[in-house]
Amino acid sequence: MIGLRFRPAASADVDDAYVWYESQERGLGERFLGELGSTLEAIAENPRRFPVMLRNTRRALVRRFPYGVFFRVLDDGVLVVACFHASRDPQRWGERT
C-alpha cells in the first residue's frame, strides 16, 4: 500500500462535504466518509488504475456519492489535491495541480 497525503484544500473539501451531508440527513455524512474511505483504500492499493484527467492528476470516483478524488502519484506516495462534487467546474480542481 502507498501512503496518502492530503493538501489542506482537499481536507477542507472533505470536511465541507461531510457537514453538508450531515445537514441533509443525520448519518449521511458518516456514510459519505465510509465510501470515501473505501475509495482512498483503492487508491492506496493501486493508484495507477485510475484515469489521468489533467497534467498527471488522476481521478477516482466515490461510490454512491457524486464526488471524485483527484490525486497525483509521486515518488514517495500519493498526494490528494481535491475531493470535488461532480457538478463543480473542473477548472477549480485543475488550478490545484
pLDDT at residue 55 in the model: 86
Question: Average pLDDT, stretch 3-10?
Answer: 96
Q: Name the strand (E) or helix (H) holding 16.
A: helix 8-24
**Rounded to two decimals, what is the model's pTM?**
0.89
What average pLDDT does range 20-40 have in this prediction? 98
Mean pLDDT of the chain: 92
Q: What is the pLDDT of residue 15?
A: 98
**What residues does 74 pair with on adjacent strands?**
77
Residue 93's pLDDT band (cuts 50, 70, 90)? low
Give pLDDT tens digits for 53-87. Answer: 988 999 999 999 999 999 999 999 999 999 999 88
End-to-end Cα distance, the chain: 23
CA-based nearest residue to 91, from 62, 53, 65? 53
Cα distances from 67 to residues 17, 76, 86, in angstroms, run 9, 25, 5
Q: Which CATH architecture has domain 4-94?
A: 2-Layer Sandwich (3.30)
